[in-house]
Amino acid sequence: MQLSHRQKVVLSTVLVLLVVALMLVFAEGTIRIRQWVKYGYFGQIGDLWSVDHETGLRVLEANASTRTISVNSLGFRGPPLHQPKAAGQLRLAFLGASTTFCAEVSSDELAWPHLVTEAIKSGTPGVAVDYVNGAVPGYTVQSSLRNLRESIAPLEPDAIIIYHATNDLSRETRSLAEKQGIYRADMADEMSWLTEYSLLWYLVEKNLRIKGAQRDADAVRQRLEFSPSELGSQFRNELTQLVTEAKQVSTVVALVTFSHQIRPGQPPGKQLEAAGSALYYMPFMSPSGLLDAFVRYNQIITEVARETGVLLIEGESLIPGDSEHFNDTVHFRDAGSRVMARRVSDALLQFTGFQELVVAKRTSN
* Angle between helix 233-249 and 166-179 (nearest 10): 150
CA 113 to chain centre: 13
Backbone angles phi, psi at 204, to 5 degrees: -60, -50
Specify the DSSP class assigned to residue 256: E
CB 232 within 8 A of CB 302: no
- Report residue 132: phi and psi, to 5°: -130, 125
Q: From first to last of the 365 residues of the chain, give the pLDDT tens digit.
A: 566 767 667 777 777 777 766 665 655 556 556 655 555 554 566 778 899 988 889 999 999 988 899 999 999 999 999 999 998 999 999 999 999 999 999 999 999 999 999 999 999 999 999 999 999 999 999 999 999 999 999 999 999 999 999 999 999 999 999 999 988 765 545 555 444 545 544 555 555 555 554 555 444 456 899 999 999 999 999 999 999 999 999 999 999 999 999 999 999 999 999 999 999 889 899 999 999 999 999 999 999 999 999 999 999 999 999 999 999 999 999 999 999 999 999 999 999 999 999 999 998 86
Are the beta carbons of 313 and 256 closer than 8 angstroms?
yes
How far CA 182 is from CA of 175, 179, 189, 217, 225, in Å, comes to: 10, 8, 16, 13, 10
* Dist CA 324 CA 335 (whole Å): 7
Biggest alpha carbon–alpha carbon distance for the chain: 95
Cα 257 from Cα 64, distance rounded (Å): 30
- Tell me the whole-structure pTM to 2 decimals: 0.84
Under 8 Å between Cβ of 192 and 205: yes
What single letter denotes the amino acid at residue 125? Answer: P
